[in-house]
Amino acid sequence: MSAQGKSVTLRTLSRMKAENSKIAMVTAYDYPSAKLAEAGGADLLLVGDSLGMVVLGYDSTVPVTLEDMVHHTKAVTRGSQRALVVADLPFLTAHLDREEVLKAAGRLMQEGGARAVKVEGCDAVLPGIRACVAAGIPVMGHIGLTPQAVHQLGGYRIQGKDAETARQLLEEARRLEEAGVFALVLECVPDEVASRITHSLSIPTIGIGAGGNCDGQVLVYHDLLQYGSEIQPSFVKPYAQIGEMAVQGIRTYVKEVREGSFPGEEHTFRAPAVMDHLYGGERKKD
């Protein structure tokens, strides 16, 4: 089990898989979400390109740029001391030639401060993954439902529901392990398929909508806290209602401002002597 106060490393994750100790990953997109997720005990913080949907208001992850990812990764790493911070390579980046992939991954680590990057897909991105691993950049893989390819997939659909596609996912997982990824996200695949993949690999699997047999789980910060997220995937379990609390708090504030009860005496600073100077002494004659 990862210990509080000790930095999580790739060796930590390998040990956790070997000891059958579950890994907890949470997305984070800024300084406060990183601090809160880490204080809650998360082993990994994923600066996901899902920020495009839950932070920037896009309808998919496709519009997210490398500049967006560097900017948000910087904020997350400033708020993290212990967790392993992983940053997504955004749309198309991993499909560029190896030099461009290395530059992009290098920026996320050198400028953003991430300690690893995540890459969606398999065959088309294997050259870039191998280049990163050879250069000393840790890479997390991601197969199943890959949001960057949502238009090609025809929507957010479960993957690997039949024997052929399930076998394909298993082969992709093995190829990614051979390419050197240190962990693998399995998104929206049947429990049986995720279990088979997990037991076939020596690296940890992190599930999201992939059942309970993966080595760990990941959820989007805004989904698990119900914080400004209108998307309700069936695999998400809300653990708090931050959005409702925030709306109620703001509603109360607006009400008090309009009725004049805020700020009250206890929230108002007083400096009577200053007024004497501002009024040039005339205030004393009032």
Q: Is 120 annotated as a binding residue?
A: yes
Selecting among 171, 172, 187, 230, the annotated active-site residue is 187
- Is residue 74 part of an annotated ligand binding site? no
How far apart, in whole angstroms, are the C-alpha atoms of residue 202 and residue 197? 10
**Residue of 224, 225, 195 whose CA lies nearest to 211:** 195
Q: Any long-range contacts for 2-9 (C-beta under 8 Å, 24+ apart)?
A: 2/43, 4/41, 4/82, 5/82, 6/82, 7/81, 7/82, 7/84, 8/43, 8/44, 8/82, 8/83, 8/84, 9/84
- CA 129 to CA 119: how far, in whole Å? 8
Q: Which residue has the tokens 């991601």?
A: 142
**187 annotated active-site:** yes
Residue 85's nearest CA partner among 76, 94, 93 is 76
**88 labelled ligand-binding:** yes
Q: Which two tokens stand for residue 266?
A: 């206890």
Q: How far is 16 from 1, CA to CA, in rounded Å?
A: 6
Q: Angle at CA 135, nearest 5°, toward 131 and 136?
A: 120
Say if residues 79 and 38 touch (Cβ distance below 8 Å). yes
Tally Cβ neighbours within 10 Å of residue 90: 24
229 is in an annotated binding site: no
Bind-site residues for 3-methyl-2-oxobutanoate: 49-50, 88, 118
Bind-site residues: 49-50, 88, 118, 120
The residues that are catalytic are 187
Bind-site residues for Mg(2+): 49, 88, 120
